[in-house]
Structure 1
């Protein structure tokens, strides 16, 4: 069973608490500049473990020290609470590594 889509007002409210994230249609994205390549890889490892535990997997692009995360709930066809929850977790991991 897919997660319910968030309404526009729910998304707007959620994004006020996620200032580093941008919305492009049905995708939330954030690029994080790590202090080193290995720090970026550690961030990806932590996000991967959280994503696996939630069974909700982001698209991840690694470009040397820049790591970009893209979140969308594909089986729901848009943004859900799963995306917002994972974005918050990613923010927490990023804060710990900086």
Structure 2
């Protein structure tokens, strides 16, 4: 899986609501009513990540989950990161 060029990343980000680029990472924060909602969201992400064998970095801070996507083996952003982002959004 090849790294995406800057222009490709900018173009694809336009199709994803709330996702931002932070260097070699795609990142989005998801807000929930409480900690339980945050944990349940993380649990909903697991099957999609396992199916793709592509695992996000996840951070939970009470009612906020920060999802960070990067293809570690490539050292940056690839098509897999955008595909997983598209699968994660409807789970929130």
The question of 1:70 aligning with 2:88 is answered: no
Q: What does 1:10-25 correspond to in 2, within 5 Å?
A: 10-25=8-23
The residue number in structure 2 matching 1:44 is 42
- Provide structure 1 residue ranges, at least 5 long, that are not aligned to the other structure: none
Q: Residue deviations 1:57-89, cap 9 Å, x none?
A: 000000111100000000011100100011111
**How far is 1:41 from its partner?**
1.1
- Provide structure 2 residue ranges, at least 5 long, that are not aligned to the other structure: none
- The alignment covers a number of residue pairs equal to 92
d(CA) in 2 for partners of 1:34, 1:85:
23
* Aligned residues: CA RMSD: 0.9
Per the normalisation by structure 1, the TM-score is: 0.88
Per the normalisation by structure 2, the TM-score is: 0.94
Deviates more, 1:34-43 or 1:13-22: 34-43
Where has structure 1 moved over 2 Å in runs of 4 or more? none
The residue number in structure 2 matching 1:90 is 88
